[in-house]
């Protein structure tokens, strides 16, 4: 049961469930070689997830491969659709297949082994799998926003549009995959080779077809040709793009994602590790961006004293507007999220259902914008939770703060200057926080406007 704006019960369990399914790195065995003595498929696990489903099985002796199918639970067998081969992977002791792009409902999957590349009757069918929907809310989905959605390459019900393009990215294909991209106003196309080239050719915005980029396994910076000088994969000027991880182990290792002047972009289900600058950087004139269900770990140590754990985990700046940051796990980050840098005009961002797990600061650190922060879990944050400066207006609602030193700070006001006139935020002007229905446990100091400051100082 999800916790709502009316309360924060079961917050920890909810965030654990809602966090991405990224858990650990598993070495991939590229071959679908057999490992057990059987011609029968033995399913070991299956389940429905957020707009997806999966099945795991024990590899079959002498099988040359597998076909995997899915259908609605109430449909006839003629309704089975085949899963893309790229979504079938073999690990050291098991095989796994995913179905992505499912709307809410009940489904079944079946696994059919191939012998000499031919199907046999020794198939296995899962039990009914219940698929739920992603929570699409916040400013990225505001009706008055330019794009009206942040679903990227997907429809708002989670399904794949009929005119979409899908590419699969592994460490072996990231520089060799090909895609025809519209590169002129007359609709002519150019073949792009490699992921970076695909995104570069979409940069001028002629190609607005939905594009879904699916990452499989661990992709390191050294695997990719075309990162910029600060280690970013650049998503510039693009429309209607989803970057997503497949399964439990999709990892961006040693590189980050830069989104600039982009429209309707989604980033989901990725593990971000040891990025050299920001993990995910929304930098300059973006609109309708949805970053959700990611695990963001340490960045690479920088040269500044405050960059021991890397720079920003997910930063929003340069008038990036109508943004939703949701269901992410920020693991021990130094600086979780800058929200506004040199901005001079109002912008709108939502943070909901994120887990700030022993991260230090910037949850977020806000300038100028109008920000809604609700149903997040702040756990063991050593510096501060929400920081507000430069006239920003923030609604902090129904969050759970546990052992967060300073849950909420306004620059040069109240708690921020209680022990020092210098404050936390480089002497910047303050802003406004409205706090409602939050649970706060184990804080060092939190003083609301209506509290008697003189009495509090004596206590």
The per-residue pLDDT for range 298-345, each reduced to its tens digit, is 888 766 766 666 778 999 999 999 999 999 999 998 899 999 998 889
Give the 3-state secondary structure of residue 253. strand
| 8 Å CB contact between 184 and 218 | no
Alpha helices in 144-271 (DSSP H): 195-201
Q: Give the model confidence (pLDDT) of 70-88 as tens digits.
A: 999 999 999 999 999 999 9
Q: What residues contact residue 183 under an 8 Å CB cut-off, 6+ apart?
A: 189, 190, 201, 204, 206, 207
Instruction: Give me the CATH code for the 31-131 domain, please.
Output: 2.60.40.10
Can you tell me the distance from the alpha carbon of 248 to that of 269, in angstroms, rounded to the nearest whole number? 8
| 8 Å CB contact between 21 and 292 | no
| Number of other CB atoms surrounding residue 244 within 10 Å | 22
**Is the fold of 31-131 the same as that of 139-458?**
no
| Number of other CB atoms surrounding residue 110 within 10 Å | 19
Domain boundaries, the chain: 31-131, 139-458
| 8 Å CB contact between 50 and 266 | no
Can you tell me the distance from the alpha carbon of 140 to that of 304, in angstroms, rounded to the nearest whole number? 33
Sheet holding 439-441, edge to edge: 218-220, 251-253, 271-273, 295-296, 329-331, 355-357, 377-379, 400-402, 439-441
Give the 3-state secondary structure of residue 21. coil
| Number of other CB atoms surrounding residue 281 within 10 Å | 27
Torsional class of 362: left (φ above 0), alpha (ψ -120 to 50), beta (otherwise)? left
- Predicted structure pTM score: 0.91
Question: Bridge-partner residues for 266, per DSSP?
Answer: 242, 290
Structure tokens at 356: 């700030």
The pLDDT of residue 17:
42
Instruction: Give me the CATH code for the 139-458 domain, please.
Output: 2.160.20.10
Question: Bridge-partner residues for 349, per DSSP?
Answer: 323, 371
By C-alpha distance, which of 295, 285, 182 is closest to 236?
285
Can you tell me the distance from the alpha carbon of 403 to that of 337, in angstroms, rounded to the nearest whole number? 19
Low-confidence ranges of the chain (pLDDT < 50): 1-37, 457-459
| Number of other CB atoms surrounding residue 297 within 10 Å | 21
| 8 Å CB contact between 34 and 60 | yes
Can you tell me the distance from the alpha carbon of 21 to that of 211, in angstroms, rounded to the nearest whole number? 22
Can you tell me the distance from the alpha carbon of 365 to that of 410, in angstroms, rounded to the nearest whole number? 10
Structure tokens at 379: 């756990």
């Amino acid at each position: 049961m999800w916790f709502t704006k009316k309360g924060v019960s079961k917050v920890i369990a909810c965030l654990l469930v809602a966090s991405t399914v990224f858990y650990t790195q598993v070495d991939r065995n590229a071959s679908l070689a057999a490992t057990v003595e059987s011609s029968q498929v033995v399913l070991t696990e299956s389940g429905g997830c957020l707009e997806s489903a999966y099945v795991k099985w024990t590899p079959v002796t002498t099988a040359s491969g597998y076909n995997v199918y899915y259908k609605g639970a109430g449909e006839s067998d003629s309704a089975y659709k085949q899963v893309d081969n790229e979504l079938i992977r073999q690990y050291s002791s098991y095989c796994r297949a995913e179905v992505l792009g499912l709307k809410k409902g009940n489904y079944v999957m079946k696994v059919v082994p191939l012998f000499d590349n031919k199907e046999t009757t020794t198939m296995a069918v899962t039990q009914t799998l219940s698929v739920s929907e992603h929570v699409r809310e916040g400013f990225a989905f505001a009706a008055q926003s330019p794009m009206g959605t942040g679903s990227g390459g997907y429809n708002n019900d989670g399904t794949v549009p009929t005119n979409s393009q899908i590419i699969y990215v592994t460490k072996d294909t990231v520089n060799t995959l090909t895609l025809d991209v519209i590169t002129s106003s007359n609709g002519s196309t150019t073949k792009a080779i490699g992921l970076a080239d695909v995104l570069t050719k979409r940069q001028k915005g002629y190609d607005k077809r939905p594009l879904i980029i699916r990452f499989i396994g661990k992709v390191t910076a050294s695997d990719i040709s075309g990162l910029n000088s600060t280690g970013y994969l650049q998503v510039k000027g693009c429309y209607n793009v989803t970057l997503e991880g497949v399964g439990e182990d999709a990892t961006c290792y040693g590189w980050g994602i830069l989104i600039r002047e982009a429209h309707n972009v989604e980033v989901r289900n990725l593990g971000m590790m040891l990025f050299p600058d920001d993990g995910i950087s929304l930098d300059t004139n973006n609109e309708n961006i949805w970053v959700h269900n990611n695990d963001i770990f340490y960045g690479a140590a920088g040269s500044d004293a405050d960059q021991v754990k890397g720079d920003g985990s997910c930063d929003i700046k340069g008038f990036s507007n109508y943004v939703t940051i949701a269901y992410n796990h920020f693991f021990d980050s130094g600086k979780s999220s800058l929200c506004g840098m040199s901005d001079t005009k109002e912008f709108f961002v939502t943070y909901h259902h994120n887990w700030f797990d022993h991260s230090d600061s910037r949850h977020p650190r806000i300038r100028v914008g109008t920000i809604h922060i609700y149903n997040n879990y702040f756990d063991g944050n050593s510096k501060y939770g929400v920081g507000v400066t430069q006239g920003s207006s923030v609604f902090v609602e129904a969050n759970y703060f546990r052992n967060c030193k300073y849950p909420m700070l306004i620059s040069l006001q109240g708690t921020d200057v209680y022990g020092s006139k210098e404050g936390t935020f480089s002497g910047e002007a303050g802003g406004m926080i409205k706090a409602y229905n939050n649970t706060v446990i184990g804080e060092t100091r939190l003083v609301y406007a209506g509290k008697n400051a003189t009495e509090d100082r004596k206590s």
